Amino acid sequence: MQSPQIQLPEFDSLLLDPREIVIDPNRAAVEIQIHCRHKETGRSLESVKTNFWTLEAGWPVSLAEYYDIAGFRAFMSAVETNPLS
């Protein structure tokens, strides 16, 4: 699935790949593999985000998103430490 830009302007989104989808009458969840490229260095970042929806009458009424923040911080630290490798 081609993706819209993730909300970080320093990255190009390459792929959002839904992995596991769970749907119940009052909730839904999806685990999404993310692949994007850091524009300045060309380095590739692969991560996972998870979305949880609360549903009412089959319609989403709330959303919680979770990201691998530790993995993202480690990636950005590596970019800052050695930006051209």
What residue ranges define each of the domains in the chain, with the CATH number in brackets? Answer: 11-81 (3.10.450.50)
CA distance 7 to 48: 15
Q: Is the pTM of this model over 0.75?
A: no
Residue 1, pLDDT score? 37
For residue 34, with 0-12 CB atoms within 10 Å meaning exposed, 13-18 middle and 19 or more buried, which class applies?
buried
pLDDT tens digit string along 16-71?
899 999 999 999 999 999 998 888 888 888 999 999 999 999 899 999 999 998 98
Residue 84, pLDDT score? 66
